[in-house]
Each structure stands twice: as C-alpha cells, then as structure tokens.
A and B are shown apart, each in its own frame.
Chain A
Amino acid sequence: MTILSEELRQKIRALLPRYPAKQAVTLPALHLVQDTLRCVPLDAISEIADMLDLSPAEVYDAMSFYGFFRSETNPLGATRLWVCRSLSCMLRGADELLQQLSEKLGVPPGGTTPDGKITLESAECIGACEGAPCVLVNDVHRLNLTPQNVDELLLELRK
C-alpha cells in the first residue's frame, strides 16, 4: 500500500519532462502532496524520493528548509489563513488583526481549529501592501481587513 495515489503519481510524473534533472520536481511534488493530504507524511517523502531517484534525506532536506510544509503530526486544516505582519501591515493593524483572529478561532498562530477547518498562521510580507492589513486564504489575497469584515471572512471559511 502506497501513500501516494496513482493520480498523484501521474501528476508528479507529468512534470518530469519540464526539467533536465529529476530533482527539480521536488518542490512541485511536495506542493501536490500537501495540497491533497494537507501535510507531507514521512512515507510520502520516501515515495517522492523513489520517483525522483533521490535519497529520502535529500527530499527532507529541501522540504524542511522552506517551513511551508507540514509533517503528518501537524497537518493543515482545510483552509490555511495567513496573516501578514510585516511592516506595511503592522503599521495598519496587523498585530491587532492576528490577535483578534486568534481569539475568535480559539487557537494560537500556527494552530488549527478543533473542527479541522482553519489553520491560522502569521506570515512575512505577502506582497499586497496596498491593501494592508491583508491576509492570504490559501493562495488568494484578501485586502483591507477591518475588525468588522473579519467576521464575514470567518463565516465564509467556516461554511
């Protein structure tokens, strides 16, 4: 029994012709796995390594560098909510926003709500400073968050 489904394997294999070296598929493969499984289990690391002719240590070495991928003991919720707190956002209330979200969701930054729906995280600049304070809902920007429209956002994410 493998942890990577045949569908996932096909998606990973389809990327191989794009690069002159199999190792270059490491990050795209990790993204595909985490998008589907909400984490990258150790078995998935071994299986990716097998597919790319690498040692599991090489895949783990790359993966652990980015701080973006979650281990199986700490998976993401259905939605990853990143709150930017770099300078432009901090100046316009990002710390307050993060605190407010943390209280409303009942989890510290980094934590996932018990129903598994939302993982709250802090982020460094997400490149939408004209709409500070801003957040990312998975990979979609939401700009100009206010104490008022935060509730609407959470209602949407809890659906």
Chain B
Amino acid sequence: MTFEPVLLRNVGVPDSQKLDVYRSRGGYRALIRAVQQMSPADLIQMVKDSGLRGRGGAGFPCGLKWTFLPKDHRGPIYLCVNADESEPGTFNNRILMEDDPHQVLEGVILAAYATRATTAYFYLRYEYGACFRSMQKAIDEAYAANLLGRDILGKKFHLEVFLHRGAGAYICGEETGLIESLEGKRAWPRIKPPFPAVEGAFRKPTVINNVETLACVTHIIDRGPGWFKSIGVPADPKNPRDAGSYGPKLYCISGHVNKPGCVELPLGVTVRELVDKHAAGVWKGRKAKGCIPGGLSMGFLTQAEFDTPLDFNGPVKAGCLGLGTAAVIVFDDHSSMVDVLYNTCRFFAHESCGQCTPCREGTGWMLKITDRIRRGQGRMEDLKILEEIGNSIGIMPGTTICGLADGAGWPLKTAIKKFRPEFEEFIRSGRKSRQLDVASNH
C-alpha cells in the first residue's frame, strides 16, 4: 500500500491558503459533519480511538488529555494552540500555518467543539510573521463564512479565535510557561498539579494542543479513527504501557543533507531511510557522523544507530530522551562534536528561564565548560563535571519545575557517552576549535 500524504496534501497547491480552495479540496467537510451529526463526546471518543499522541514533543495521548477537563464545568474553557514551535530543527508547524492555515483552523474548531471551549488563543512565536498573516486571513474568512463566531453553522456553538504573538522565548512552548506568557507575565512554568485541564489560562480549565496535533484531528474526524490507526507502528501487545505510534508524521530534516525539508511519512521511518531516500543523502558525498533525532533536546544518535525507527519508542531504545518533534539534524564526518555540543549548550543557556536554580546555573556552567574546551583549555575532568550536571538537572532527577533542563541534559550526556574518544582526543591535543576563527567576537 502506498502512503498518501494528508497533512501536506494542499502544500504547493495554488492559493492553498484561501478558504474556497481549501473547501474545494474537501476542507471543512469534517467540521460540518461533526457539528451537524455528532456530540462532543463522540468526537473525543474518535480521537481516543485513533491513538493520536501529541506531536509537540511529549507524545501524550490527545483524547485522554481532553477527558481531564472537569465534567459539566460552568464558565469558560480555553483552548490554547501551541504555535510557539522553537525546538531547534523543527519547522513543520510553520509550513502548516503558512501554506494551509484552514486545515489547522478546522482542527482548532473541532477541538473546541469536542472540549466545549469557547475561546481559542493561538500562542504564535513572533518570528513566524508569515504564519501570523496567513492565519489571520484564514480566521477572518472563517468568521465571514460562519465557521467562527456565534451560532456556528446554525448550531448553538460559539467560538472566538485570537492570535497572540510571543516575544522570542523558547520556554513559552512549555504549556504552563505559555499560559503565564499569555496572561502577560514572565513565562515561568507553573508547578503541577494543578494541571492546565483543571486550572490553566486565567485560572480556568484549559486544553493546550500543538498545531500538528490539531491538524491530525481534522483528518481523524474526516477519515475515521480506523484510517489513522492503520498507519504507523502498533502498540506492543506485550507492553501495556505502550500507547503505540499511530498516524502520519511531519519529519523535518536539516543540517548536512543534500535536500533539507519537511516530509510526511508514517510514524516509524528510520533515520537512514529519511536521510538517504527523502533528503537525498549526506551532502558533498560525505558520510554522516551522527544526528539529533527529534529536535535538539532529544540527544544524539551516532551514524551506527541510523537504523533507529523514529516512532515514540525508537529513540528511547537508542538512549535518547524520546521522539520529540521528529526533527532530524544531520552532521557529517567533518563536523566537530566539540562545536556541535558547544552550540547546543549555548542554546539552552540562552533559553533557560532562570526560575529554577539547577537549570539556570547548570546550563550556564555547561556553556562555560564547553567554551573552555573549544578554546583549547579543557581538562579531562571537565567531561565528568559535564556528565554530573547533565544527570542532576531536570524533572527526572526531580530538581526543576519543567523539562527544559532535561532537554539540556540529554544532548550533553549522549554526546559525551557516544563520542567520548573525540572529546578526549580534543582536550588532550590542546587544539582550538576552527569555528573560533569565524566566530571570535560573538
């Protein structure tokens, strides 16, 4: 059976952003059927049955998340669309919102119908100006077509949708950081519980879903949960905790490949297939040294691990934090792991929000020590100190409120574990990174 892309099917179609083009290609069919013939509970059941897991990084089952809302809640329920896509290497939400905003919006309206949310806020990273403009146009068109606003499609169903632009902080992608930022405060993640489903935006029950997750909802309602479940990797029947890896996924491939880009494939494709078949191989005829399998926070795979399937379990089995956003960054065998790790540490030191001391200080020291190493002043015991930092910051060791620090620790730990001889040789040689020649003043 050949795989037919659905999430990207409108990308590249002339005027794909426009409502009439979207409708002419089957758009809003699912919404009309849902609003006219189904109850919110039916929708939640369909999403549960589909096995859809969140695409933003954590992989939490979407339908289950929706059921955490209090039953018969009087008063507002909010839907926050997490469009703060900032995980390095990840750009699929941008493509969806830029080129097919109505597909995303249909998912938002369906999710609001299912969860009885009456206001939806898109928390959109400021850097995505084109998305801001295409989504706003789509929202305006939807209001004019009675797909948003009061009495949607003639039913007692009301929904307001607003775009809310961020201001360049990675932490706003963490769901409670997002809420704090939306409320007009510094984006310091909240201690949980209470979870957002009980007490979220403006202290009211709140659902937060990623853009790609919501786009998947559109197709689950349109084509049915059975269709979604026929794609991907089924749950291991011997492992009751495995929720499976169902559905199509947008994989982003960047770095040292011939054809970087975003491709839609069934969950479970291997890194090797992604690189060789879908990204036209490693550039300049070189070999890969390794990759990041799912956005920077997930850690590293070596070239020998490229047969790892990119489903929700594969990267974990290979020692990584998880599938993350399924954004693969490949680096070739001419790359220096010292430079790659320094770059990674700089990112997390820059983006730590500063609320929890282990993260604020830990990421700062990671940066200082990797900088020392790249300047030829590293000491062999630095590797041990780095590992100690990596092991002691994050939710998993229980020292921070959110997972940013786990995401900072994983690339550090996996880099040293999997590429130790290279770090040791570099430190022993006393060399300086060649990257310093072009980046000495910044």
Contact = CB atoms under 8 A, between A and B. Distances in A.
B344 interface: yes
B128 A139 contact: yes
Contacts of B249: none
Contacts of A61: 185-186
Interface in B427-442: 435, 438-439, 441-442
Interface in B231-264: 252-256, 260-262
A26 B184 CA distance: 5
Given A28-B164, A91-B256, A130-B91, 13 more contacts: A24-B164, A24-B182, A65-B353, A66-B167, A67-B169, A68-B167, A68-B168, A68-B169, A99-B439, A125-B89, A125-B90, A131-B260, A139-B129
Contact of A87 (B85, B125, B255, B262): B255
Contacts of A140: 129-130
Nearest to B440: A99
A102 interface: yes
A98 B439 contact: yes
Nearest to A31: B165
A17 B86 CA distance: 29
A95 B185 CA distance: 33
B50 to A, nearest CB: 27
B91 A25 contact: no
Contacts of B353: 65
Nearest to B296: A87
A86 B184 contact: no
Contacts of A26: 184-185
A77 interface: no
A52 B129 CA distance: 26
A90 B182 CA distance: 31
Interface in A100-143: 102, 108-109, 122-132, 136, 138-141
A68 B132 CA distance: 18
B368 interface: no
Interface in A29-58: 30-31, 52, 58
A22 to B, nearest CB: 8
B343 A108 contact: no
**Residue in B167, B184, B296, B331 whose Cβ sees the most chain A Cβ within 10 Å:** B184
B222 to A, nearest CB: 27
B216 interface: no
A124 B173 CA distance: 14
A141 B127 CA distance: 8
A108 B439 CA distance: 11
Interface of B: 76, 85-91, 93-94, 125-130, 132, 160, 162, 164-170, 181-187, 202, 204, 252-256, 260-262, 292, 296, 327, 329, 331, 335, 339-340, 343-344, 347, 350-351, 353, 435, 438-439, 441-442
B88 A124 contact: yes
A91 B168 contact: no
Contacts of B89: 87-88, 125, 129
Contacts of B125: 127
B161 to A, nearest CB: 10
Q: Which of A66, A85, A96 has the most CB of B within 10 A?
A: A66
Interface of A: 18-21, 23-28, 30-31, 52, 58, 61-62, 65-69, 82, 85-88, 90-92, 95-96, 98-99, 102, 108-109, 122-132, 136, 138-141
Contact of A130 (B126, B160, B261, B438): B261
A125 B88 contact: yes
Nearest to A93: B438
Nearest 8 pairs between A and B by C-beta? A139-B129, A26-B184, A65-B186, A129-B254, A66-B167, A23-B184, A125-B88, A88-B254
Contacts of A130: 91, 252-254, 260-262
Contact of B91 (A28, A62, A65, A129): A129
Given A90-B339, A124-B350, A136 B331 contact: no
A24 B292 CA distance: 36
Given A61-B186, A87-B255, A87-B343, A127 B85 contact: yes
Contacts of A92: 255-256
Contacts of B441: 99, 102, 108-109
Contacts of A82: 127
B167 A30 contact: yes
A23 B255 CA distance: 41
A69 B168 CA distance: 10
A136 B296 contact: no
B129 A86 contact: no
Contact of B185 (A23, A28, A91): A23
A146 to B, nearest CB: 14
14 contacts: A26-B185, A31-B165, A87-B344, A88-B88, A102-B441, A124-B88, A125-B89, A128-B94, A129-B88, A130-B252, A132-B260, A139-B129, A140-B130, A141-B127
B172 to A, nearest CB: 9
B86, B167, B183 — most chain A CB neighbours (10 Å): B167
B347 A62 contact: no
B83 to A, nearest CB: 10
Nearest to A140: B129
Contacts of A27: 164-167, 181, 184
A124 to B, nearest CB: 5
